[in-house]
Chains A and B, each alone.
Chain A
Amino acid sequence: GAVVSQHPSWVICKSGTSVKIECRSLDFQATTMFWYRQFPKQSLMLMATSNEGSKATYEQGVEKDKFLINHASLTLSTLTVTSAHPEDSSFYICSAQEVWSNGNTIYFGEGSWLTVV
């Protein structure tokens, strides 16, 4: 299947700093990527839909000024957690949509563990 790479896998940052997470589709072009957050033993929560060349669409309750998303190319989307706080510590996962003539499939990055201390 298609490959989506996410970086970094693990990051620890100090409270108040910003952290950038990258999501790359390695062998296909993705006009649409998705960003999720998952807390321990909970299901995936969609944060936002990232569209190449346009603004991201945020889910209700997700602060767009805190979670900055940039999708500047067909293979790269970035999520920046600004002014991070300990409650932002979570598993962040991206996915990219591969478009086929008979439908779409989404593939996930490996995820990024963020710990804010």
Chain B
Amino acid sequence: RKEVEQDPGPFNVPEGATVAFNCTYSNSASQSFFWYRQDCRKEPKLLMSVYSSGNEDGRFTAQLNRASQYISLLIRDSKLSDSATYLCVVGHGGQNFVFGPGTRLSVLP
């Protein structure tokens, strides 16, 4: 089993739809959690950190469930520009960051 797993995707949704991605991690000692976005042929960019209390940034909401060891990302009112691969990243503290395989999202007109 991989240390960080994500919905396999791809997700093809119409503009304006709400879409949710899930990510599970196996290391219960994980301390930090992030969602990154990677556009085709570009580097990943930090979308948002994920806090225990959950956090929201505009149309994006991230939640963390430590008991079940999963993280979610919710995108509301999706835009064409949201089309990308979304990477779940889990940190164990210090230098150890593990990336999930990514979930590809295509928002269709």
B14 contacts partner chain A, Cβ-Cβ < 8 Å = no
- Please report the total number of B residues contacting A with Cβ < 8 Å: 20
Determine whether the beta carbon of A108 is less than 8 Å from that of B43: yes
Determine whether the beta carbon of A104 is less than 8 Å from that of B43: no
Mark A25-66 against chain B: 1 for CB-CB distance below 8 A, else 0.
Answer: 000000010100000000110100101000000000000000
Residues of A contacting B: mostly: strand
Mark B66-108 against chain A: 1 for CB-CB distance below 8 A, else 0.
Answer: 0000000000000000000001010100110101111000000
- Please report the total number of A residues contacting B with Cβ < 8 Å: 21
Which residues of B does A touch, CB under 8 Å?
31-32, 34, 41-46, 49, 87, 89, 91, 94-95, 97, 99-102
Which residues of A does B touch, CB under 8 Å?
1, 6, 32, 34, 43-44, 46, 49, 51, 91, 93, 97, 103-111
